[in-house]
Each structure stands twice: as C-alpha cells, then as structure tokens.
Amino acid sequence: MTSEHFRRGYNKHLLHPWANFNELGKDENKTVITRGEGIYIYDADGNRLLDGPAGMWCMQLGYGRPEIAEAVSKQMNQLAYTSSWNVVNDKEIELASRIASKTPGDLNRIFFTTCGSTAVDAALRLCQLASNIKGQPNRKHILSRESAYHGSSFLAASVTGKERDKSAMDVLIDKVHFISEPCFYHHPSFASEEEFCDFLIDELEDKINELGAENIMCFIAEPILASGGVIVPPKDYNYRCWEKVKKYGITYIADEIVTGFGRLGHWFVSEEVMGIVPDIITFAKGITAGHIPLGGYAVSEKFLQELSDDKEGFMYANGFTWSGNPVACAAALASWDIFEKEDVFSHVKEISTYFQQQLKTLEQIPLVGEVRGVGLMAAVEASMQVSNGNDRLEKDYAVGELVDSHCQQLGLLVRPLINLCIISPPLVIIEAQVDELVSILKKGLELTLADLREQGIWQDTELSHNTSNAKRALSS
Ligand code: PLP
C-alpha cells in the first residue's frame, strides 16, 4: 500500500502531538514510515530517509536490532506484566541496580515511570511531598529556564519554558519561575561567554532572594537544553547553578532524559561532564534505545532519609500501571548489553568531534546563523536576519519547514523547530553517514535560501558569507 493510502487514514482519524487545528485532516504531505533498518527509515513508497533526529532523541542503536527484539519476545512469553502495587519483578530489580551503579553520589533509589513526562512529573510530586512532610508547605516554588523542555503532563508542561509551547493550554503559573535561557548566541549584548555566565548566575541568585530560598522547592534543568534548540550553556554554568542552588538548600533536579544513555558518550553527564551531584536525575528515551516506553528517576538516599524520620500519614501516592514493566525493563537490559558489548559510548566520543566539525561547515551558508552542539546533538539555526519584523514567527516557521521538506526529498529527516533544524542521529552513525547527512543538509539549506530569495523574504546584505561570530557581532 502506498503513502497516499495511509495518509487518507491519518487525515481521517489521527490527532498528533502539537497538531494545528486549522490544518487537521488536510495534510497532503505527511511522511508515512513503515520500516527501519540501521540509521535509516523507509516510507510506504520505499523511499529511504536518514533518521536525523533518531526518532525523538531516542533510537540510540538505530532500527532492526534482533537482540532487543528477541529479549522483548522472550520476556513477553515468560512474563508480560507485573503490578508494582503487589509484587516486584526480576527485570526491574536488575535494571535498577545497573542504573544505581552509574548514577553519581548516593542516587541509588530508582523509581520507574512510563516516559519522560511522567518521570519529571513524578520527581516534582516527590519534591512537593517532601516539603509537606518536612512541615514546609510554602516551599513549593519551582525554578526553571526559558527554552527548557520537560514534557507534556500538566506539571512537566508547567516547568517548560519554550516560547512556542506557551499556547492557550493551561499550566501552573503562580509557582513556576523562569530565568534566562543560557544561550550566548541569543544574547548578543554580552561581550563574552564569561560575562554572560556571570549575568546568568547573578540572575539566579536574585530570583532566589526575591522568592525567598525557604519558599523554593527545586531547580530543574537539562544539562544541555535539547528541544529548546540544543543550547549548550557557557562553561561552568551548570556547575555554578548547582553550587548556588545547594548553597540555599534547594533541591537540584537534573533532567537527563536526552543527555542520559549515551548522547554525549556517557551514561549520565551530571557528574562526569558537569562535575555535579544532583539530588534527582530523570531519565527516559535512550534507556530502551527508544524501543519501548520507559522512564524514571534516580533519587538520593539522603533525600529520602529526611522523609522517613518518624513521620506518619505521608505516603508517595504516585505511580503507573506500567511502572517497572518487565518487558520494558527487558528491552532496557538488552540495549544496555549492546551499549557495553559494542562500546557504543566510546564510539560517540570519537565520532562526535567529526560530526560537530562537519556540521560547523554549514555556517558558510549565509542563511545559517549558528551551528551549535555537543556530542551527538546539534542545532542549525537560521540567521537572525530572517527573524526581524512583525511576521517574524511566520517567516521562521517557513524556514524550518522548507529545510525539512527539501531534506526529505533528498533523503534526510530533520526535526524542524521554528527557525532551527535539530540533528541528533542514532549513536551508531559512522563517518560516511555523517558525510551523507551533512551534504544533504547543506543542499537543503541552499535550496531553502534560494526559495527565500525568490519569495523576497531573504535579502543579501553584508552579513552574507560571514562566519557566525561576525554575524553575531554585526547583529548586536
Ligand atoms: N525532558 C526532556 C529533556 C525532554 O527532551 C523530553 C522529551 O523530549 C521530556 C522530558 C518528555 O519526555 P516524553 O516525551 O517521553 O514524555
């Protein structure tokens, strides 16, 4: 059956995340995927696409790994389900102990959920409960950052700071506070990253003092802001935030849902890369190499001990039908075995230098304002030139969509995000495939620029053909 056939069914019956109701049921171009192999996916007409976003930051090992399929099938035959309300299964015990062996400090207690949003939600609810148990019912304010993405449950969406996601949907407003996104490129008024970092840390401290440290429940932060545009904070920013937050006795939650399980070549980056020991680390996505939904958090033993001293009547009334599901845990264990056996994370550390270098060459295209990233996560951001005027957002959306559609024609799936393209391929990508990815993206960006020139959206100025720093200086 062809894509056309499937598309009819999609338009008739499906409501997808982030749907625009004005366009519901009218998408003539929706890509219909029916198969995956290695780092490629195939549409219903047999066209091959390199999976630039690795699903959604999650298909660490690519597609068609028989070891994971066999582990899942075996587990389904042996034991498909247990309820955490009544019993515990062998696979969740094994997985929890492996996770505890990789988390920093005393983060040895693991709570399993069904995805990233439920992991964030469950961690925040644990913090709320902790405030109540400790007799600090006013300690409920949450600090987050602009451009952060933490998920889609009510609480996780509430702590999300992405501009685009501030839609008409309700969120918790009065208890969530956003400080600036740590993106140097978006803040051209600062002369250096150091100066910008000092500003960010002062801003954090001012906010703590304004709210009163005793009223702040937690600070939640992705080490690298992923869906907000692969924002790599200034050097030492994460460490200095952690230091400040701990100085005031506030709980630090590291959201490692994207950075965990190999995207930067580490099980977790909190300690190994940033040198910090959070109180809670959330994870999801890569833990099953994207094969089966599973999320959770690791929490410090000390954090929990403070909740158990002779307190009565408090209980962690929070959990999910599929918490610690044995099939999901079996998929995670099988993925884990491959990560170790094939030394996938060492490969990430090696290939990511090449990956970032090659992507950086795209800054030669006038349309590109900045290419930034770390490990196997990167964003190509269209120049600020496109973003001026009242119809800024409309033009920016047009850029992302044009790049995406040209790249798909050429055999690459990118993740358009307003004026950005996010690239986070499967961890097993090799050099020749990086070359393929970058050369298609280059062509896609050039074709987009030609379209924008034709539509009069883009005018060549002296900014053209400059590097990102020069563009930055000129646009400030
Ligand atoms: N936290 C981060 C950092 C994420 O990137 C995401 C999803 O992209 C989430 C939380 C939510 O995860 P999920 O979509 O599995 O609910």
Q: Is 144 in the pocket of ligand 1 (CB under 6 A)?
A: no
**Measured in angstroms, how far is the CA atom of residue 422 from the centroid of ligand 1?**
15
Protein residue closest via CA to atom 15 of ligand 1: 116
Q: Domains, the chain, ranges and CATH?
A: 31-64+343-474 (3.90.1150.10), 67-341 (3.40.640.10)
Return d(Cα 398, Cα 85) in angstroms, integer. 49
Determine whether 389 is exposed, middle or buried from the number of CB atoms within 10 Å of its CB (0-12, 13-18, 19+).
exposed
pLDDT tens digits, one per residue of 225-234: 999 999 999 9
**Measured in angstroms, how far is the CA atom of residue 57 from the centroid of ligand 1?**
9
pLDDT tens digits, one per residue of 231-268: 999 999 999 999 999 999 999 999 999 999 999 999 99
Q: Is 117 in the pocket of ligand 1 (CB under 6 A)?
A: yes
pLDDT tens digits, one per residue of 3-38: 999 999 999 999 999 999 999 999 999 999 999 999
pLDDT band for position 396 (50/70/90)? confident
Protein residue closest via CA to atom 13 of ligand 1: 116
Write out the two tokens for 431. Answer: 């050099």
Query: At which residue do the structure tokens 């990815």 appear?
Result: 437
pLDDT tens digits, one per residue of 448-462: 999 988 988 887 875
Query: At which residue do the structure tokens 């008409």 appear?
Result: 168
pLDDT band for position 476 (50/70/90)? very low
Tell me: pLDDT of 283 over 60: yes
Percent of all residues in the chain with a pLDDT value above 90, rounded to a whole number: 85
> By the 8 A CB rule, do 425 and 38 touch?
no
Return d(Cα 190, Cα 403) in angstroms, integer. 30
Q: Is 297 in the pocket of ligand 1 (CB under 6 A)?
A: no
**Measured in angstroms, how far is the CA atom of residue 451 from the centroid of ligand 1?**
33
Query: At which residue do the structure tokens 């075996």 appear?
Result: 74
pLDDT tens digits, one per residue of 158-211: 999 987 667 789 999 999 999 999 999 999 999 999 999 999 999 999 999 999
Q: Is 284 in the pocket of ligand 1 (CB under 6 A)?
A: yes
pLDDT band for position 401 (50/70/90)? confident
Sign of the C-alpha dihedral computed for residues 417, 144, 169 and 123 taken in this order: positive
Q: Give the chain's mean pLDDT.
A: 93
What is the predicted pLDDT for the residue at 31? 96
What is the predicted pLDDT for the residue at 164? 66
Write out the two tokens for 83. Answer: 């309820």
What values do phi and psi take at 385, rounded to 5? -60, -35
What is the predicted pLDDT for the residue at 41? 98
Helix runs in 180-291, H state only:
193-211, 237-247
Write out the two tokens for 443. Answer: 């062509």
- What is the mean predicted confidence (pLDDT) over 108-120? 98
Q: 125-134, 262-271, 313-322, 395-404: lowest mean pLDDT where?
A: 395-404
Contacting residues for 458 by C-beta, under 8 A, at least 6 apart: 367, 385, 386, 449, 452
What is the predicted pLDDT for the residue at 311? 67
Write out the two tokens for 210. Answer: 């304004």
**Measured in angstroms, how far is the CA atom of residue 157 from the centroid of ligand 1?**
10
Tell me: pLDDT of 393 over 70: no
**Measured in angstroms, how far is the CA atom of residue 151 from the centroid of ligand 1?**
5
What values do phi and psi take at 299, rounded to 5? -125, 150
Tell me: pLDDT of 103 over 60: yes
What is the predicted pLDDT for the residue at 79? 98
Percent of all residues in the chain with a pLDDT value above 70, rounded to a whole number: 93
Q: Is 103 in the pocket of ligand 1 (CB under 6 A)?
A: no
- What is the mean predicted confidence (pLDDT) over 58-65? 98
Judged by DSSP in three states, 371 sits in strand
Closest CA to 375 of 301, 330, 323, 426: 426
Q: 182-186, 395-399, 463-467: lowest mean pLDDT where?
A: 463-467
Tell me: pLDDT of 419 over 90: no
What is the predicted pLDDT for the residue at 416? 83
What is the predicted pLDDT for the residue at 301? 97
Closest CA to 116 of 354, 344, 284, 319: 284
What is the predicted pLDDT for the residue at 465? 47
